[in-house]
Structure 1
C-alpha cells in the first residue's frame, strides 16, 4: 500500500513533537498544534506520554516523551503516536552492560528502550483501545523516539487489528535479528519507513548483533556531506530539510529517497574489501564496512557458534566475550576461515589506529580479540555520544 503521507509531513511531525514539549501548558500546545495543522490534528485525552527513564516525577508538557494525536477533517481515520528523543539515549548507548529485554512478540531488544516503552504502555493503551475500527495508526519518532516508535508499532500490530505504519529518523537499532525479522514480517516491509543521514552515527549503534527494522533492505538514505560522523546530521531539523525540495519547498517522494539507497553489501563485496591492501582509516563508511565484514566472518563460524540465541541470554558484554572466544578458536584452525578472521582483525586494528605491530600481527588470541571488540564498541559509543552532545550544545532537537 502506498504511504498516505509524504516524507516532509512525517518529518515535520517528528520535529514538532520537540516544539510542543517546549511549551509550558497543554492549552498553549493545543493552540500551536491547531494553528500549525489547520485544525486537522487534535490532542487525545490523557495524551502526554511520560516515561520512567529519569527527570522530574511530576507531569508537565515539558517532561513528556511524546503525544498521541487524533486526525480530523482531512486527516480523519488516522491516529498518531509520536515520540521524541532525550538525553538519556547517550547514557544508554555508553552502558557496557546492556541487558536484553523481550518485546511484545517475545523477541530480544535493548532493555533500556524496552523498559522505557513499557512504562508508557499504560498511557497509550486506552488511546489505542478507544480508536474506531478501520483507523490507520502511525507510530513516529526521531533518535530514541524512533526506537520507542518501533516497539510501539510491534505492540499495536500484535495486539490489535489496526493497520500500522512506522516512521523513524536517525533511530538507533532496537533489537537482534529475531526482533528485526519478526517486526518486519508483522508490520509489513512496505509499512516501515526508516530514514537516516549518511553521516549520522546514531543509526549505527548499538553495534552488531543489533540490527535495524526493516531487515529487508527497504530504508531511506539521505545525503549528508563528508566521511566523518557529525552531530549536525542527527538534528531533526536537518532531516526535515533533507526531505524537502530546496527550490519548490515541496516534499521529496519516498520513491526519490529510496533511489538514493546504496546496494546492500554482498559477500563478494565484503571479501573484496577484506582482501584489499588499502588502510582502513577512521570514517563512518569504514565502520559500516567492518560491521558487514564482522557478520560475514561470524556466518562462516556458525558451525561453532550454533544458534545465536544461546549467546544472548545475559548482557551484551557477555555476548561479545563469547564471540571473541569463537573467533579466537577458529583462528587456530588451518584454512580459509582463520585467514578471514586475521583479515578482519587487521582491519579493526587499522580503524582504531593501533600500533603497526598489532595491525600486522597474525597472533589473534581470545584476549587480543576481546580487547579489539571492546575498543571498537567504545569507539562507536564515543562517536554517538559526541554527536548527541553536539546536538544538545547547539540547542537542537535530539
Structure 2
C-alpha cells in the first residue's frame, strides 16, 4: 500500500516554498514547520530551486526567484522524496493568467496544457533533474510527494507527470486551491498515471474555477477534498495562513475529510428562474455543466472541444459563440435552452438588468466576456492577496 502524507504535512509542504522566494538558488534551507521536518530533511538535497515566474519583467530581465524545495524522507517516509512548489504573483491584468492571453503548450505526457504553467515549469526543470536524479536513479521504490498551493498546485501537477515519466517512481499529488492545468486529455492522462491525487479546495475559493471549460481538473470524473462548504465566492478563502486558510482546514486524516464529486451532470436552465443564480462556485459549476449539456444535446460537443486544440482561447470563444447562435436556430427547444443558459450567466456576472432580446453570436460573445471577466477578476484578486 502506497504511503501518503497526512493532510497537515501535505499542506505545509505546499506552504513552505513561499518562504524561499528571496533565497539564492542552491542555498540550503531548513523549514520551520515541525509537521514537515518530522518526516523530511531538506538540508541535504541541493538547496532552493529557482524558476522564472512568467511575468513580463521576469521574462525581460530573466529574473528567477525561489520556487521549490526538495526533501529527503525519514522516519516512516524513509526512501521517499518531497517536492513543494509555491504559487506566483502577477504584475498586471494582461499576464499569462488572463483568459484572453491564454494559449496551449504540450506537456510531458503529450497532452495540451496552459502555456503559462508549462513555461514556468520548464524554467525549473533542469534544477529539478539535478536534485531528483541522485535521489531516484537507484531508488525505484521511493514515493515522490508533490505539493503546491494556488498556481504552485498547477506546477506540482506538471512536475508529477514529468517525474512519473522520467524516473518511473510512484507519485502522490497534493494540491490546495489549484487552478485547472490542461484540457480533457491532460486530466485523463494525469488521472491514469499519478498514483494518488488529493485535490483540496475551499468551497468558495475562486481560483479552482479557472481556467474555465474546456480545461479540466484531475482526477477526471473523480472527487475533490472539500475542506469548507461553498457559500459564495470569497477571495480570502484562497489564503494559506489566514482563517479559513488551507493550513487551518487541512487537519485529521484523508478518509475523514468530505469529498465532492466532480462528474459532469446534465443541467438545463430555465430563463424565468435566472434570478435564483448567484456569484458562487456552485453556480459556476452549474453553468459549466449547462453549457456542456447544451452542446451535447445539439451534437456539437466534440466539434467544439476539438476547436480548442486548433486555435487559441479567443478564437475558441468566437467559435463557441457562433456555434451557440446556430444551436438556438435549430429548434424552439434549443432556443429556450440557450436563453436559460445566457440569462443565468448574466445574473452570475452581476448584469441583473440586462434582458435578452437577441441571440446573435456577437451578443453571446459579449455574455461570455462579462462572465469570464467576473470569474477571472475574483481569481486574480485572490492570487494577489496571498502571493
Q: TM-score, normalised by structure 2?
A: 0.87
Write the distance in 2 (CA, Å) between the matches of 1:194 and 1:21.
Answer: 24
Write the distance in 1 (CA, Å) between the matches of 2:345 and 2:304.
Answer: 25
SS at match of 2:273: coil
SS at match of 1:312: helix
Deviations 1:322-381 (A, max 9, x none): 11111111111114333212211111122223364x4343x2111111111111111111
Which residue does 2:204 correspond to in 1?
199
Which of residues 320, 325, 329 in structure 2 aligns to 1:328?
Answer: 325
SS at match of 2:42: strand
Write the distance in 2 (CA, Å) between the matches of 1:293 and 1:35.
Answer: 42
Write the distance in 1 (CA, Å) between the matches of 2:301 and 2:143.
Answer: 45
Write the distance in 1 (CA, Å) between the matches of 2:183 and 2:17.
Answer: 28
Q: Is the 8 A contact 1:71 1:79 kept in 2?
A: yes
Write the distance in 2 (CA, Å) between the matches of 1:49 and 1:332.
Answer: 55
SS at match of 1:173: coil
Which of residues 189, 200, 218 in structure 2 aligns to 1:213?
Answer: 218
Which of residues 65, 80, 83 in structure 2 aligns to 1:81?
Answer: 83
Which of residues 285, 288, 291 in structure 2 aligns to 1:294?
Answer: 291
Which residue does 1:382 correspond to in 2?
377
Write the distance in 2 (CA, Å) between the matches of 1:350 and 1:370.
Answer: 16
Which of residues 345, 349, 354 in structure 2 aligns to 1:352?
Answer: 349
CA 1:277–1:44: 2 relative to 1, 3 Å: same
Deviations 1:282-336 (A, max 9, x none): 3332222212211221222334752622332231111111111111111111143
Write the distance in 1 (CA, Å) between the matches of 2:330 and 2:67.
Answer: 51
SS at match of 1:166: strand
| 1:225 to partner: Cα distance | 6.9
Tell me whether 1:254 sits opposite 2:254 in the alignment.
yes
| 1:187 to partner: Cα distance | 1.5
Tell me whether 1:119 sits opposite 2:123 in the alignment.
yes
Q: Is the 8 A contact 1:49 1:67 kept in 2?
A: yes
Tell me whether 1:128 sits opposite 2:127 in the alignment.
no
Q: Is the 8 A contact 2:174 2:197 kept in 1?
A: yes
Write the distance in 2 (CA, Å) between the matches of 1:38 and 1:262.
Answer: 33
Write the distance in 2 (CA, Å) between the matches of 1:45 and 1:12.
Answer: 18
Which residue does 1:373 correspond to in 2?
368
Q: Is the 8 A contact 1:44 1:127 kept in 2?
A: no
Tell me whether 1:223 sits opposite 2:228 in the alignment.
yes
Write the distance in 2 (CA, Å) between the matches of 1:32 and 1:287.
Answer: 38
Count of matched residue positions in the alignment of Structure 1 and Structure 2? 373
Q: Is the 8 A contact 1:301 1:326 kept in 2?
A: no
Write the distance in 2 (CA, Å) between the matches of 1:333 and 1:183.
Answer: 37
Write the distance in 2 (CA, Å) between the matches of 1:351 and 1:153.
Answer: 35
Q: Is the 8 A contact 1:305 1:326 kept in 2?
A: no
Which residue does 2:178 correspond to in 1?
171
CA 1:232–1:31: 2 relative to 1, 3 Å: closer
SS at match of 1:66: strand
Please list, as runs of the form range in 1=range in 2, the aligned pairs for 1:228-239 lying within 5 A after superposition: 229-237=233-241, 238-239=245-246
Q: TM-score, normalised by structure 1?
A: 0.85
Q: Which has the higher contact order (CA 8 A, sep 6+)?
A: 1
Structure 2: tracts of 5 or more residues without a match: none
Write the distance in 1 (CA, Å) between the matches of 2:63 and 2:371.
Answer: 39
Backbone CA RMSD of aligned residues: 2.7
Write the distance in 2 (CA, Å) between the matches of 1:292 and 1:3.
Answer: 35
Structure 1: tracts of 5 or more residues without a match: 245-251, 392-397
Write the distance in 2 (CA, Å) between the matches of 1:285 and 1:365.
Answer: 28
